[in-house]
């Protein structure tokens, strides 16, 4: 997708049209203006399919078609492939038909074990997916286990490289617990090789009481994909879990992603569905909010 104001504003309008059709209100546009746009290209905008996990199980093709109509550039898979579970070539063709790409795929380390490695690589290469992200590993916030996670990430980085693929790790809140003067996340970041992708989930970092902008800037060129999500605490008040309707400093995060993160994909993930919204409606609202922020980034 060309990185122009016209394209982004048009995409924003698509999101608003979706919201209007769904009977939703327009997101709050009172977002802080971003610094002048970087000379680097804007990242593409994707969606993590876990956001609509029940929809993709019930009607995979219709759900992805609806996401494409919202203006998303790609999807990030989370283990559900509908009728294409054994047909990655057909799935790639279906994505192309809807002008979608595979931004990455979440999986677990067991899918890269010796018994599964060849089949996993064959499937994702046929799909056109070159980035595999470990979705969660409880060892990552254990004082001993975190080192085993680091070891496996480094080993898989070496094994995947000849296939033109990368391994990465996705955080939850626990990786940002204090550990050895920093956090478990810092141990993972500092101990893995530069080609291991650090997928920041901003929602969980904020939930943990830390600043995702700080961690994108701390490890330049490592945050190739970032989850844009609002994650509220049980006692949160007056915070709507929709991008642009919350209190997160998305402006600063976008600037960090573009200026230093090496970020290729901003991935909307929705895990909370306020005010009776369906998952698709909530995703559309967050997409429209992110589009407005990106349009501000392009404004002179």
What is the per-residue pLDDT across 160-190, written as a single tens digit (0 to 9) for each? 999 999 999 999 999 999 999 999 999 999 9
- Does residue 175 contact residue 185 with C-beta atoms inside 8 Å? yes
Tokens of 255: 């600037």
Three-point CA angle 113, 119, 125, nearest 5°? 115
User: In this predicted model, which residue has the larger pLDDT, 25 or 235?
Assistant: 235
Crossing angle of helices 184-191/145-160, nearest 10°?
Answer: 30
Q: Parallel, antiparallel, or unpaired for β 178-179 and 182-183? A: antiparallel
Q: For 200-228, what is each residue's pLDDT tens digit?
A: 999 999 999 999 999 999 999 999 999 99
Alpha-carbon gap, residue 192 to 166, rounded angstroms? 13
The model carries a pTM of 0.86
Whether the CA torsion 204, 177, 43, 62 is positive or negative: it is negative
Helices (H), 35-140: 53-58, 60-69, 88-97, 117-127
Which CATH code for domain 5-197+206-298? 3.20.20.150
Task: Write the burial class of residue 148 (CB in 10 Å: 0-12 exposed, 13-18 middle, 19+ buried).
Answer: middle
Confidence of residue 8 (pLDDT cuts 50, 70, 90): very low
Amino acid 249: pLDDT:
97
């Amino acid at each position: 997708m060309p990185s122009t104001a016209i394209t982004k504003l048009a995409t924003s309008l698509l999101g608003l049209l979706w919201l209007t059709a769904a009977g939703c209100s327009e997101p709050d546009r009172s977002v802080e203006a971003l610094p002048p746009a970087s000379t680097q290209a804007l990242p593409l905008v994707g969606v993590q399919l876990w956001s609509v996990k029940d929809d993709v199980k019930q009607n995979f093709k219709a759900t992805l078609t609806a996401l494409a109509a919202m203006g998303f550039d790609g999807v990030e898979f989370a283990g559900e492939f509908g009728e294409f579970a054994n047909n990655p070539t057909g799935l790639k063709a279906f994505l192309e038909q809807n002008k979608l790409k595979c931004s990455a795929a979440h999986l677990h380390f067991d899918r890269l074990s010796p018994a599964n490695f060849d089949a996993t690589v064959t499937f994702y290469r046929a799909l056109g997916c070159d980035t595999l992200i470990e979705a969660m590993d409880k060892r990552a916030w254990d004082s001993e286990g975190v080192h085993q996670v680091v070891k496996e990430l480094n080993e898989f980085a070496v094994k995947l490289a000849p296939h033109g693929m990368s391994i990465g790790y996705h955080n939850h809140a626990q990786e940002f617990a204090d550990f050895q003067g920093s956090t478990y996340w810092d141990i993972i970041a500092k101990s893995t090789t530069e080609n291991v992708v650090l997928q920041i989930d901003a929602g969980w970092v904020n939930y943990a009481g830390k600043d995702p902008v700080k961690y994108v800037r701390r490890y330049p060129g490592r945050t190739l994909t970032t989850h844009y999500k609002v994650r509220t605490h049980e006692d949160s008040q007056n915070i709507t879990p929709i991008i642009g309707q919350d209190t997160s400093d998305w402006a600063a995060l976008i600037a960090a992603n573009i200026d230093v993160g090496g970020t290729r994909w901003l991935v909307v993930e929705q895990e909370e569905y306020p005010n009776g919204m369906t998952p698709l409606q909530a995703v559309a609202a967050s997409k429209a909010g992110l589009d407005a922020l990106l349009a501000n980034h392009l404004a002179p």
